[in-house]
């Protein structure tokens, strides 16, 4: 493991500094003359209190079961309620069981669907009004990054997700960062009903506001990111035998407790998260000779981990 | 293949518009009210003239030979002359033959080295003054992107590579974009002599100016990006048997012509490249309903391809 800092005062100093300067103001401000953090991002996580994490909700967690293991995805109903509900309906209809991953485009996405277009849906909709973006809502706290962004006027975090906003239109949307789960579509914007889920395995911010993102992989993304790349256009596999079989998709709540993968996600509304972002922005002295001083919203990488064994602590 | 645009006038219109507005000024300006391109990036490449491409120089091309195939890397001596020379010396000493890939960190880097630290160098240096950045030079044309950047005051392209610049210090450096080849080091900044090459397989711009980048993978990156991820800290493989053997590394010029992999790279100083960037920034009408209007320097992805069969055209 990376060495844990031996300076216990550091965490409280960093947390205090950032809370005073930024958290209360709702913005993750970066003071250019702030002292360099003494904790790395790894240290911040290692020293974090249990209350800095939240378990994922089994009712909003999907499992993608492959021969190589399980990919765990957290859903974001606050951002795409219709699409989340429809995808869960598809999953519960066993729509994906026995289908395949049909596309793996390097530095882009992995996607699965009914490549033969023969599988009927039962109660799930096959068209849906797009949820590519939505209105800013007061009940969704937004922690803005002051680091700037190439693609959007504002970026930051909300409810554990990377989010962009446009203050002129009062809209917000999930950003296509590594690990995000989206729903592929044809040219018709209403065609992204959920039959072609994809996971981002590269840099795809150009897709922002062009399809509906509905969540994020929180465990097992390497089972997708290491798949052989498709050699056809857009990374589709050219031969049927290259397809990667899907055993099943499941809603975690439908799986017996003993068979679940218990994942927790770093909360994005705590001093711990602020210290984590600051460590990403300006790592401690040591290996780094030229700290970036800035961080890209996608490079923050909201941490997720298997939940430590033992009783779940009471929230503080 | 993706459909080729049936509007032959488009290419000349785009090229003309951008050349008039930007190329002559040395900046890739984006007019907000410019008409949407009618060519996709794929179309631009498909319609490109042979002169829009340049072959890689065999003397500055490395092959990494794995059981799964060959990774081709172009070197950038204009940016890191000492490190390029030293790595070539190491390659020609057969320093890497029989070593292994020892690290594959998801969304970050793949790295190879002598994990046992027993292999001696012959004439190659084992410490080198860092070439993390260098002075801006008039003889290195720089095509600046007007899209902004989170990490650097200026970004763009020079000699086929993504580059950042700081006009205050008159310095420039290669950026840690997907596919870039760098030299790992210990805490000592002079320790990156070439014994631990790495390739970027994720988002690592935080490393800019902290190590020496010396080139880019131009063919076969999927052989690296699909490797199983290491489960140890920083993505190192935890067991010796997980290491991925390297058959050899070679300078392409040392390989018989018939056994070479002939690669060519899209030139970054032509109207074709400008049209390519513009198509990345604002794709044609069709699937995209909300073109980004901006492009990240790493998302441009300077195209490389196997050289078409037939005589090499004379430069125009």
pLDDT single digits (tens) A190-207: 999 999 999 999 999 999
**What pLDDT sits at residue B9?**
33
d(CA B144, CA A132): 31
Question: Are the beta carbons of B289 and A210 separated by less than 8 Å?
Answer: yes
Are B210 and A289 within 8 A, CB to CB? yes
Q: At what angle do helices A8-18 and A271-281 cross, to 10 degrees?
A: 100
pLDDT in tens, B152-174: 999 999 999 999 999 999 999 99
Residue B34: predicted pLDDT? 58
pLDDT at A309: 75
**Residue A34 confidence class, pLDDT cut points 50, 70, 90:** low
- pLDDT at residue B122, as a whole number: 93
Average pLDDT for B69-76: 98
The reply to whether residue B296 touches residue A210, judged by beta carbons under 8 angstroms, is no
More confident residue, B186 or B311: B186
Query: Chain B, 33-52: which have a CB under 8 Å from a chain A CB?
Result: 42
CA atoms within 13 A on the CB side of B263: 25
* Two tokens, residue A207: 């897709």
SS3 B309: coil
Cβ of A191 under 8 Å from any chain B Cβ? no
Nearest CB to A147; choose among B150, B208, B294 = B150
In which band, very low, low, confident or very high, does the pLDDT at B22 lie, cut at 50, 70 and 90?
A: very low
Model confidence at B250, pLDDT cuts 50, 70, 90, reads very high
* pLDDT grade for A308, boundaries at 50, 70 and 90: confident
In what order do the strands lie in the sheet containing A154-158? A134-135, A171-174, A161-166, A154-158, A143-144
Averaged over B172-195, what is the pLDDT?
97
Nearest-CA distance A6 → chain B (Å): 19
Identify which has the larger pLDDT, A34 or B127: B127
Chain B CB contacts of A225 under 8 Å are 106-107, 225-226, 229
Residue the block writes with tokens 């790495």: B198
Residue B310 — very low, low, confident or very high, per pLDDT cuts 50/70/90?
low
Average pLDDT estimate for A270-282: 95
User: Cα–chain-centroid distance for residue A53?
Assistant: 15
- Which pLDDT score is estimated for A17? 32
* Contact status, residue B202 vs residue B107, Cβ threshold 8 Å: yes
Would you call A226 and B227 a contact, using CB atoms and an 8 Å cutoff?
yes
Residues 71-90 of A with CB under 8 A from B: none
Q: Is the pLDDT of residue A311 over 90?
A: no
End-to-end CA distance of chain A: 28
- The arithmetic mean of pLDDT across residues A43-49, rounded, is 96
From the list A81, A92, A117, A87, the residue with the least C-alpha distance to A102 is: A117
Say if the Cβ atoms of A298 and B187 lie within 8 Å.
Answer: no
Contact residues, B window 238-277, toward A, CB-based 8 Å cutoff: none
Residues whose CB is less than 8 angstroms from the CB of residue A312 and which lie 6 or more positions away in sequence, other chains included: A55
Query: Looking at the DSSP assignment, which residues form a beta bridge with residue A182?
Result: A198, A213
pLDDT attached to residue B3: 29
Q: Does the structure show a pLDDT above 80 at A81?
A: yes
Calculate how close chain A gets to B33, using CA atoms only, in Å. 17
Residue whose token pair is 């219709």: A82
Question: What is the pLDDT confidence band of residue B37, given thresholds at 50, 70 and 90?
Answer: confident
Q: Nearest by CB to B222, from A106, A179, A280: name it.
A: A106
A210 contacts B288? CB cut-off 8 A: yes
pTM of the predicted model, to two decimals?
0.90
Assign B241 to helix, strand or coil.
helix
Per the CB < 8 A criterion, the answer to whether A13 and A21 are in contact is no
**Has residue B314 got a pLDDT over 80?**
no
Of A280, A261, A313, A229, the closest CA to residue A52 belongs to A313
Residue A98 has pLDDT above 60, yes or no: yes
Nearest beta carbon to residue A294 from set B151, B186, B283? B151
Q: How close, in Å, is residue A115 to chain B by CA atoms?
A: 17
Backbone angles phi, psi at B60, to 5 degrees: -120, 40
**Tell me, what's the ipTM?**
0.89
Chain A: residue nearest B299 by CA? Answer: A203
Please indicate if any CB of chain A lies within 8 Å of the CB of B188: no
Residues of chain B with CATH 2.40.100.10: 58-263
Mean pLDDT of chain B: 89
Instruction: For chain A, say whether B68 makes contact (Cβ under 8 Å).
Output: no
> Taking residues B234-259, what's their average pLDDT?
98
Mean pLDDT computed over A261-270: 97
Percent of chain B with pLDDT over 90: 82
Cα A283 to Cα A40, B34, B97, B173: the distances in Å are 6, 41, 35, 20
CATH 3.40.1350.10 fits A58-259, yes or no: no
Q: CA-to-CA distance for A195 and B268, rounded, in angstroms?
A: 39
Residue A316: pLDDT band (50, 70, 90) is very low
B299 in contact with A, Cβ within 8 Å: yes
As a whole number of angstroms, the distance between CA B299 and CA B281 comes to: 9
Enumerate the CATH 2.40.100.10 domain ranges in chain A, comma separated: 58-259
- Is B26's pLDDT higher than 60? no
CATH superfamily of B58-263: Cyclophilin-like (2.40.100.10)
pLDDT for the residue A262:
97
How many angstroms separate the CA of residue B62 from the nearest CA in chain A?
21
Given this model, what pLDDT does residue A310 score? 64
Cβ(A146)–Cβ(A136) under 8 Å?
no
Could you tell me which of B22, B232, B222 has the C-alpha nearest to residue A235?
B222
What pLDDT is attached to residue A193? Answer: 96
pLDDT at B15: 34
Report d(CA B45, CA B275) in Å as an integer: 9
pLDDT surpassing 60 at residue B31: no
Interchain contact, B287 vs A147, CB within 8 Å: no
Helix/strand/coil for B257: helix
N-to-C CA span, chain B = 28
- Please indicate whether residue B20 or residue A276 has the higher confidence score (pLDDT): A276
pLDDT tier for residue A75 given thresholds of 50, 70 and 90:
very high
DSSP string, chain A: -PPPPS-HHHHHHHHHHHIIIIITTTB----TTSPPPSS-HHHHHHT--GGGEEEPPGGGEEEEEETTEEEEEEE-TTT-HHHHHHHHHHHHTTTTTT-EEEEE-TTSEEEEE-TTS-PPPSSS-S-----S-EE--TTS--EE-TT--SS-SEEEEETTEEEEEETTTTEEEE---TTEEEE---SSGGG-SSSSEEEE-S--GGGTTTSEEEEEEEE-THHHHTSPPP-SGGGB-SSGGGSEEEEEEEEGGGS-GGG---EEEE-SSSHHHHHHHHHHHSPPBTTBSS--S---TTTS---EEEPPSSPPPPP-
Cβ–Cβ below 8 Å for B228 and A222 = yes
Helix (H, G, I), strand (E, B) or coil at B64: strand
- At residue B24, the pLDDT reads 34
Q: Does B198 touch chain A (CB under 8 A)?
A: no
């Amino acid at each position: 493991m990376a060495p844990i800092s031996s300076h216990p005062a550091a965490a409280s100093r960093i947390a205090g500094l950032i809370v005073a300067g930024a958290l209360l103001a709702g913005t993750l401000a970066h003071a250019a003359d702030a002292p360099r953090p003494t904790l790395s991002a790894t240290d911040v996580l290692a020293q974090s209190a249990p209350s800095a994490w939240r378990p994922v909700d089994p009712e909003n967690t999907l499992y993608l079961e492959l021969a190589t293991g399980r990919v765990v995805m957290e859903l974001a109903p606050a951002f795409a309620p219709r699409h989340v509900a429809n995808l869960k309906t598809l999953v519960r209809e066993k729509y994906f069981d026995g289908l395949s991953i049909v596309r793996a485009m390097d530095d882009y996405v992995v996607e699965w669907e009914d490549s033969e277009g023969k599988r009927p849906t039962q109660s799930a909709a096959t068209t849906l009004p797009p949820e590519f973006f939505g209105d800013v809502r007061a009940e969704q706290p937004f922690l803005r990054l002051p680091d700037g962004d190439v693609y959007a006027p504002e970026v930051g975090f909300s409810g554990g997700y990377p989010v962009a906003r446009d203050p002129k239109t009062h809209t917000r949307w999930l950003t296509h960062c590594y690990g995000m789960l989206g729903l592929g579509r044809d040219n018709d914007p209403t065609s992204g009903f959920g039959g072609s889920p994809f996971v981002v395995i590269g840099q795809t911010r150009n897709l922002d506001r062009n399809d509906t993102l509905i969540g994020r992989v929180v465990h097992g993304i390497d089972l997708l990111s290491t798949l052989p790349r498709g050699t056809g256009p857009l990374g589709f596999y050219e031969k049927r035998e290259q397809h990667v079989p899907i055993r099943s998709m499941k809603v975690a709540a439908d799986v017996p407790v003993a068979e679940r993968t218990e994942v927790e996600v770093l909360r994005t509304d705590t001093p711990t998260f602020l210290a984590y972002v600051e460590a990403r922005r300006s790592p401690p002295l040591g290996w780094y000779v030229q700290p970036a001083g800035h961080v890209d919203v996608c490079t923050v990488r909201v941490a997720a981990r298997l939940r430590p064994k033992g009783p779940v602590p009471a929230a503080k």
